[in-house]
A and B are shown apart, each in its own frame.
Chain A
Amino acid sequence: MNWTNILNFSRGPLLHVAMIIFVAGLSYRLVRVLLLGWARDRAKNKGSKLWGVIVNYLKGLFVLPFIPWVRRTFRHNELTFIAGGLFHLSLFLVLVFGTAHILVWKSLWGFGWKGLPTPILAFFSAAGIISMIVLLINRLTHPVLKMLTRFPVWINWLVVFLPMITGFIMARHLWFRYEVIFSLHLISVSLLLIWVPFGRISHFLFYFFSKTIHGAQAGKRAVTP
């Protein structure tokens, strides 16, 4: 077995199986959550649910992350907030605007778009990796977090961190032969795809559920979410 064969395996059958599990698993999770059912809404609608949802998204995604100091949650926990925010931003930018990733989207959906310049991506991917390490140290040392952390949390951290670090090394051409680090990146990505539907990382999807419901509830009561 040589690395060229391993790369071919990880780009081919392994990634294929991972995508199958990802799509089927996520559909399963989605249905399970939707079929939990919800109570009939008997209270009178005082405001606009739609408006509440819109405001909730705008504030949550585009306003508050950039003026975090207005929130009490930030003042209580600056480190987690900054590192967590930077990590999510980096992941988003690299996944959506990294040229290699754009080619993946293009192969899946048939269209691509322009990427960001490599130095900017390099900065953000490094920032994302450092944030992950900071968050890990924080979790290892914080007395309360330590008590809250169970085994799957470490898996969550690992399956997200591995693709990030291997991707960074690959994009910068450091230390390894390209096909070796490319294979390791794809293997770790496959692990992530397989794990996502069954772990907490599925919040990338369910986040939008809670954000919508929370916004709608606030809108109904005519209060700012």
Chain B
Amino acid sequence: MKEKTIYEHLREKGLSRRDFMKLCGTIAGMMGLEFVPPVKALGKTLGPSPEEVVAQALKTKPKVPIIWLEFQDCAGCSEAISRSSSPLLSNLVLNDIAIEYHETLMAAAGFQAEKAKEECMKKYFGKYVLVVEGSPTLADDGIYCTVAGKSNLDLLKEAAAGAAAVIATGNCACFGGIPAAHPNPTRAVGVADLIKDKPVVNIPGCPAIPEVTTGTILHFLILGQLPETDQLKRPLPFYGHTVHDHCLRRPFYEAGKFAGSFDDEGARKGYCLYRLGCKGPTTYNACAGLKWERGLSYPVQSGHPCLGCSEPHFWDGGGFYQGQSAPIVRLDKSSTATLVGVGVAAGAALAGLNAVKKSRAKKDLKKDQSQAAGSDPGSKKEG
């Protein structure tokens, strides 16, 4: 039997054509598909409009099954996606695209759940998208994170083998995140460090912005490939700018007006939070544009500096409330005292050596002079 397309599926569920087109427009906007206005397109072939591209894909393509694995994580990214600000999108992903296996969200449990996963992996071999939340661990063959008696390394390799693409969601899955923080006892790493033979895209964040995860999944569904990424494999439509670039407090930064504490006059006036440790200038994420809770707000807007949660080493990159310009490793009092001691000792030792040399040279000179005087008592040469 021919598989139902997503459009057919949605129509069956009672979605009107008008709502379908609205949905396509929303998705196109979410994915950041470029709209080429007719004037700009003069001289070029005018392609279909972005929502037409989306509509065409949804009308012709069957749903993409998703297998969602969780390793060393807090399920925060799953929480975020299940409370996504765009119910249409999250419904689409959760119910229609669809997530076949998700330890936290699925109704089945135990052996039933594992069986469902195996069946899905067999049935959709080479077609499904693997989403990984949480960091895989390398220490002792990955025994520090096991599901159904299998180590996370085996689970990851097994699931990635038949995946068309791998999406790592959240800082833990992308860069190791909090489990990889110093001293990283489980040797947590990012998914991309382990999976080299499949296309991997990173959606870092703590949690990842749900619209970004859904947007990336939809990108794969609609265009058949993962979006273009930056050096850290983050999709450019969402990670192309820093939080600082689009910050609504940016004019205060430019003017040099900063909040000095969380409750001073500057903070009340909405001044820049750079002095309170904001990591916005080096943090690439879509927070300032997409925001959270249906575009209600995001940390900087709510008065808290950016923590830099979509960057590698965000847990070890200096204190959250310490200025970004401050050194990560500071010289404490005892090490400074030791260093001064070393410097002083070296200086004194060298000075001592020089003094010894000098006195020897003086003695030698005197000796020479007295010898010269002894051998020729009549002469009065200068020494």
Contacts and interface: CB of A to CB of B under 8 A. Distances in A.
B313 A8 contact: yes
Interface in A90-117: 99-104, 106-108, 112, 114-117
B232 A4 contact: yes
A26 B343 contact: yes
A19 B338 CA distance: 13
Q: How large is the interface on B (under 10, 10 to 19, 20 to 34, 35 or more residues)?
A: 35 or more
B347 A31 contact: yes
Interface in A10-35: 11-13, 15-16, 19-20, 23-32, 35
Contact of B328 (A8, A36, A119): A8
A108 B350 CA distance: 30
Contacts of B282: 4, 7, 178-179, 182
A51 interface: no
B312 A23 contact: no
Contacts of B253: 118
A121 interface: yes
A28 B347 contact: yes
A23 B313 contact: no
B275 A27 contact: no
Interface string B314-356: 0001100011111111110001100111111011101100000
A29 B324 contact: no
Contact of B340 (A8, A23, A36, A104): A23
A30 B281 contact: no
B329 A32 contact: no
A24 B327 contact: no
Contacts of B348: 31, 35
Contacts of A210: none
22 contacts: A5-B313, A8-B313, A20-B331, A23-B336, A23-B339, A24-B340, A24-B346, A27-B342, A27-B343, A27-B347, A28-B343, A29-B343, A31-B346, A32-B347, A99-B256, A103-B324, A104-B323, A104-B327, A106-B326, A108-B331, A114-B260, A119-B256
Q: Considering the complex of A and B, which 6 residue pairs feature the smallest CB-CB distances, nearest first?
A: A103-B323, A27-B343, A31-B347, A118-B256, A107-B326, A35-B351
